[in-house]
Structure 1
């Protein structure tokens, strides 16, 4: 009874912790998205400088990551040569800076709800680029699933009340660069046995992003900021916004490390629906029935895709376990055979 009670208590504790990690991640992700929208939107805080905002985030995250890695030794740095850094991290940093720049820029032109609907195209972009770089095998069934997601997003876009072509182009560009970054991480880092958690990732990648973003910033936004002499830097607004962005990275580390990437995908779907509801009810963005129908179709297709990936992962794990069991059985048979040979006098005589 005691053991059963202890087991039940342990299971309940694990479930509660998992839901807590999910809740923290959803809250922080939700906060960062709405906060960025608030700062960049001309009808709200009215500071439409997405490159500058992204650079503030990167400078803040670089500083905190340096303190955690080098000063407080909270996380061990990854052993990395300059050659590997230049060939692997720098291209990833370039893609990340472009993705962040374009995605933040989209908040100026599009509603939060519609941006979340467009983000449903991420599996399509990742799979297509993976096939292009031969990291994924082309399968007609998966491609049909990708087409279903695309049709759903297209319907949602058709029903968008405040459709902005430039905003859509920016968000689609952000999705393309982010998908390419994820594939490049597999090719340039994971294939070499290097894995970066969110803190070490920021430690290596954030300074690189800051340098890349400074180039367009000098030509695009610096002249505008120079003219806007009335603006005063609000340390509370930008400080808390940057801290939320950094905390979100830690929450990703916590959620994936303590649960799984699949849990994060499921939590992401919940977050998207919450953001759509918030955008409609609080920010008063227009969400049409066609919007919802299209996104629901895309959502079902994404759910099926995640389910298929989970089944494939389970089958792969089962195959690996069966292979390991066969290898172990073969090794035991060989050992038994050696023992029998050593204990057989006739075999010993024949060897002599």
Structure 2
């Protein structure tokens, strides 16, 4: 029964993730709304409103958080979350969905690098060699990309850097403080913060041209499209936290491999993205490196669980001893 539920969580996440990625690509590149900051701001505003309603109405239990914790933990995470979404959406203006998924294979490399720098990951030559293989594979895929646009690649790499740093800070700033946020409370605190941070680049980059095009009638806001898009984005955020909470981050990483191949295929079918043999060859190298990385993570997790079970069994079997080595009465 548990396996069936885990499969359901994974399937929902893959479906929603693919939907949001393809939906965002369509809106930004084909629908005629090339404003990634505005789109991301709309997602954060929509998520903030829904989370606020869920908590204030009492559908979801809120979490008490001091202003000091909010400023030290939530604010930096919210800033990085804003950067991840904005830069990732902006990359869709220049690159195909298939190539972006190939670039996202660098996420374990970035997480490992940031984790080693911030002492959340243990450095090893074996892992370093694994990360080099992944990097080489992505480099080959990039070399074989027909529609290689430098600014698009830079934007996506910056998005990966923001996301890897955010994931590491979540572990340091939230988990170590003992804060347990459910999906709704996470969006309740982080989405408004991300919205505020997004207002800064929006004011300098998109506000004037967006307003001008709206006034000239060059852009028409189709509310069903934007509401359904934001609803899908909110549901995806819920699915991410649900998947990690009910299974593990490692499960999501492994499911992500399946999702990437699915999106590459859908990108070719729906948007006619050009994928060359060198693209696929390089990605296969990176894919192999990512699979090996996940395999080693599974081994480490199983070894840790085995040690915990053995330690628990030893504690149960060992007699309770006093200070002089005599059994202590448990009466």
With normalisation by structure 2, the TM-score equals: 0.94
Is 2:115 the counterpart of 1:136? Answer: no
In structure 2, the partner of 1:277 is 265
Q: Distance in 1 between matches of 2:202 and 2:31?
A: 20
SS at match of 1:117: helix
Structure 1 residue 333: Cα displacement? 5.0
Matches within 5 A, 1:1-352: 13-41=1-29, 44-71=30-57, 73-228=58-213, 229=215, 230=217, 231-332=219-320, 337-339=327-329
Q: Deviations along 1:94-143, whole A, 9 cap, x unmatched?
A: 11111111000000000000000000000000000111112212100000
Deviations 1:299-337 (A, max 9, x none): 111011011011111111222222233333345455982
* 1:264-314, Cα deviation, whole Å (9 max, x unpaired): 222211111011011112210000001101111111110110110111111
Structure 2: stretches of 5+ with no match in the other structure: none
Distance in 2 (alpha carbons) for counterparts of 1:79 and 1:38? 39
- What is the alpha-carbon distance in structure 1 between the residues aligned to residue 319 and residue 194 of structure 2? 51
In structure 2, do the counterparts of structure 1 residues 225 and 313 end up closer, same or farther at CA, with 3 Å as the change threshold? same
CA distance in 2, matches of 1:255, 1:182: 15
Are 2:145 and 2:279, in contact at CA under 8 Å, matched by a contact in 1?
yes
> Bigger shift: 47-56 or 73-82?
73-82
Alpha carbons of 1:253 and 1:135: their partners in 2 closer, same or farther (altered >3 Å)? closer
TM-score, normalized by length of structure 1?
0.88
SS of the aligned residue for 2:328 comes to: helix
Give the alignment's Cα RMSD to 1 decimal: 1.8
5+ residue gaps in structure 1? 1-12, 343-352
Query: Aligned to 1:120, what secondary structure does the other structure show?
Result: helix
1:177, CA displacement in angstroms?
0.6
Shift of 1:78: 2.2
Once structures 1 and 2 are overlaid, which stretch shifts more, 243-252 or 109-118?
A: 243-252
Could you tell me how far apart the structure 1 residues matched to 2:69 and 2:249 are?
A: 27
Distance 1:14 1:317, change over 3 A: closer
Q: CA deviation at 1:338?
A: 3.2
